[in-house]
Amino acid sequence: MRVFRFRSIRTRLSFFLILLVLVPVFGVFTVYTRQAARVIEARLIESRQGVLNQTVLNLNRIIGTLATSVNYFSASPQLQRYILSLQDGDRVEQFLASQALSNTMQLVSSTAFQHEMLVFFMSDEAVVSNLTDIHRNAPRLRASEWYGRALANPLQFQWTIESLPLYTERGLRNTELLTLARAFVSHDASRVVGVSAVSILTQDILDILDPRMVIVDDRGNRLMDEPPGPTAVVLRERLENFWTLEYALSEDELFGDLLALQLQAGVFLFLLLAFLVGIILLYVYSSTQSLIQLRERAGLVEQGDLSVRMPRLPDDEIGQLAHQFNGMLDRIETLIHELKEEHRLVEEARFAQLKAQVRPHFLLNSLNTVQWAARMSGADNVSQMVSALSKILERALYEKAPFVRLSSELETVKQFLVLEQLRTGDQWTVSIDTDSLDVDPVCPTFCLEPLIENAIKHGLPTPDGSVMEINVRCHRDEDRLILEVEDSGKGFCDVPGLPDSRPAGRPEPGVGGIGLANIQQRIQQAWGGDYGLRLYHREPHGTRAVITMPFLNDLP
């Protein structure tokens, strides 16, 4: 048995599977499938013949409908009246006859069947059709194959499939049509007085055809591209207009589906495999003792013992797996050591962060000291400014929550107004209206202060030199909270990142937008695109900023 001792377990298992399973199964299966393939081919051809027959019936129904429509249209009194009006040259009668003929065309097109039909009557001096913009299309229609063939063979029906560039409601389109046409001669048979035709889109034909079907006309021309791939059998049936419908069956269709053969061979394979499984399992069991050892040591590692290692095994796939197992344990121990070192560095960084927090705290204490010194010196305006700045700075440094109560946001706004009042003087007034709110709702932090800051910064000076009025209104609209900041300043342009506000005029350029766009992004990230900030231009001047958000009683 030394000849069967391969180093690779995959090689050993593959050898015995080929020897004990594949060779006998392949031989029996090959003989059986050759006989079954003939049965499958016959059944497939029979089923495809049924599909071909049904398709022929559908095509003949369309062909018959076209023939009926042409006969009905050709024999209609309206067409005869129109032909006589052309011969008489009476313009009024020709116009009335044309209108009546158009109505008949619409009737033929709408009552035929579910496909859209185009109806034509053409002569050298006139053209009537239910096709849109027929006069622009007339030169292309006169150059069509069906028109030329109908003129060359009067009183004979002409079937054609051709592609024409026609003007439609969506512009110039390349339209492929199946057309039945016939020509009319004068009573003395001296000349052709016109050609009548009915067309449908060839796409309506393709919708009922299998992709491997091809229509061949009476001249032997293939009117569609041949199906791709090698063809094994071609089925043919005659159509009512003497054309031929060909159905090409590929080799894959005939021999690719052997499911029935596989099911029948499954019984034999099951009996054979039941005998061979015992021999294969016995050999596999003797070849997988190393895997059992690896499984036992992996269980010890799962329990937390990282000191276990696999012994040295033969250099096959299992031996390589055992070597990688040992390397993995070594790497885990290294990572644990590195993790402990990273934890120590994180603790040091946290301690450094705590020390850094002392600096803003020192700054706030210094501002409070300056405030008391200014108050003791009688500089009340400086004391108010430092106090307001201290409160704003304290909230900016220590307020980490993205949402606050509206009352807290308004308190920050009031401190900001104190700073702006001392800086800009009496150029503006502010009113805050929250009387309609019976609860203290939730809003994003620092959402009102940027709006008031922009109103003061970009609204002054006012166009008429008056004191700018800033009105802040907070009210509830069903399940929404509406925050409005309205001013009578000079207004400003649209802000990048915000929806267009449809300005009534062209206010001054140069407005920023980082703070306003930040408000928009925060609101939409929290509640979606149905909410956010919008800017509106007031008449005759001024700006109105509106924030819309859900009305919430509790902090999220």
Q: Note the pLDDT tens digit of each residue in 338-378.
A: 888 888 777 666 655 544 444 455 455 555 665 556 666 66
- 459 burial class (0-12, 13-18, 19+ CB within 10 angstroms)? buried
The C-alpha atoms of residue 417 and residue 430 are separated, in whole angstroms, by 9
Q: Around Cβ 475, how many Cβ atoms within 10 Å? A: 14
For the cut 90, the answer to whether the pLDDT of residue 474 exceeds it is yes
Higher-confidence residue of 16 and 260: namely 16
Quick one: 334 and 434 in the same domain? no
For the cut 50, the answer to whether the pLDDT of residue 502 exceeds it is no
For the cut 50, the answer to whether the pLDDT of residue 257 exceeds it is yes
Quick one: 465 and 527 in the same domain? yes
Quick one: 538 and 456 in the same domain? yes
Question: Would you state the pLDDT for residue 442?
Answer: 93
Q: Around Cβ 399, how many Cβ atoms within 10 Å? A: 13
Instruction: List, for residues 18-68, the tens digit of each pLDDT value.
Output: 777 777 777 777 777 677 767 777 788 888 888 888 888 888 888 888 888
* pLDDT confidence band for 511 (50 / 70 / 90): very low
Kindly state the average pLDDT of the residues 191-196: 86
Task: Of 286-300, 436-450, 458-472, give the lowest mean pLDDT range.
Answer: 286-300
* pLDDT confidence band for 382 (50 / 70 / 90): low
CA distances from 93 to 82, 83, 125, 128, 130 (A): 8, 11, 15, 15, 20
Residues in contact with 307: Cβ distance below 8 Å, sequence separation at least 6, in sequence order: none
Nearest C-alpha neighbor of 424 from the set 460, 464, 451: 460
In a domain, 298, yes or no: yes
In a domain, 113, yes or no: no
In a domain, 326, yes or no: yes
Quick one: 420 and 338 in the same domain? no
For the cut 60, the answer to whether the pLDDT of residue 523 exceeds it is yes
Higher-confidence residue of 552 and 371: namely 552
Quick one: 297 and 424 in the same domain? no
pTM value?
0.42
* pLDDT confidence band for 472 (50 / 70 / 90): very high
Quote the number of domains for the chain: 2
Residues of the chain with pLDDT > 90, as a percent, come to: 8
Quick one: 325 and 465 in the same domain? no
Higher-confidence residue of 250 and 65: namely 65
* pLDDT confidence band for 513 (50 / 70 / 90): low
Question: Would you state the pLDDT for residue 186?
Answer: 74
Of all helices (H) and strands (E), which one includes residue 373? helix 358-376
In a domain, 546, yes or no: yes
Residues in contact with 60: Cβ distance below 8 Å, sequence separation at least 6, in sequence order: 239, 240
In a domain, 345, yes or no: yes
- Asked whether the beta carbons of 53 and 229 are under 8 A apart, the reply is no
In a domain, 271, yes or no: no
CA 400 to chain centre: 39
158: left (phi over 0), alpha (psi -120 to 50) or beta: beta
Higher-confidence residue of 251 and 155: namely 155
The C-alpha atoms of residue 539 and residue 63 are separated, in whole angstroms, by 69
Nearest C-alpha neighbor of 265 from the set 527, 469, 70, 30: 30
- Domain hosting 522: range is 401-550
Question: Would you state the pLDDT for residue 383?
Answer: 63
For the cut 70, the answer to whether the pLDDT of residue 168 exceeds it is yes
Q: Are strands 480-487 and 468-477 parallel, antiparallel or unpaired?
A: antiparallel
- Asked whether the beta carbons of 231 and 252 are under 8 A apart, the reply is no
Quick one: 345 and 470 in the same domain? no
First to last CA, the chain: 75
Question: Would you state the pLDDT for residue 475?
Answer: 94
Listed residues 352, 369, 389: the one ending a domain: 352
Quick one: 541 and 407 in the same domain? yes
Kindly state the average pLDDT of the residues 80-87: 82
**Residue 182's beta-bridge partner residues?**
196
Q: How many CA atoms lie within 13 A of 543 on its CB side?
A: 29
Quick one: 348 and 407 in the same domain? no
In a domain, 302, yes or no: yes
Task: Of 182-186, 302-306, 424-428, 490-494, give the lowest mean pLDDT range.
Answer: 490-494
Quick one: 417 and 521 in the same domain? yes
Q: Return the CATH number at 459.
A: 3.30.565.10
Higher-confidence residue of 332 and 365: namely 332
Q: Around Cβ 271, how many Cβ atoms within 10 Å? A: 9
Quick one: 345 and 443 in the same domain? no
For the cut 60, the answer to whether the pLDDT of residue 157 exceeds it is yes
Instruction: List, for residues 400-426, the tens digit of each pLDDT value.
Output: 678 889 898 898 888 888 877 777 777
For the cut 70, the answer to whether the pLDDT of residue 495 exceeds it is no
In a domain, 525, yes or no: yes
Quick one: 344 and 432 in the same domain? no
Task: Of 265-269, 520-524, 538-542, give the lowest mean pLDDT range.
Answer: 265-269
Question: Would you state the pLDDT for residue 65?
Answer: 84
For the cut 50, the answer to whether the pLDDT of residue 510 exceeds it is no
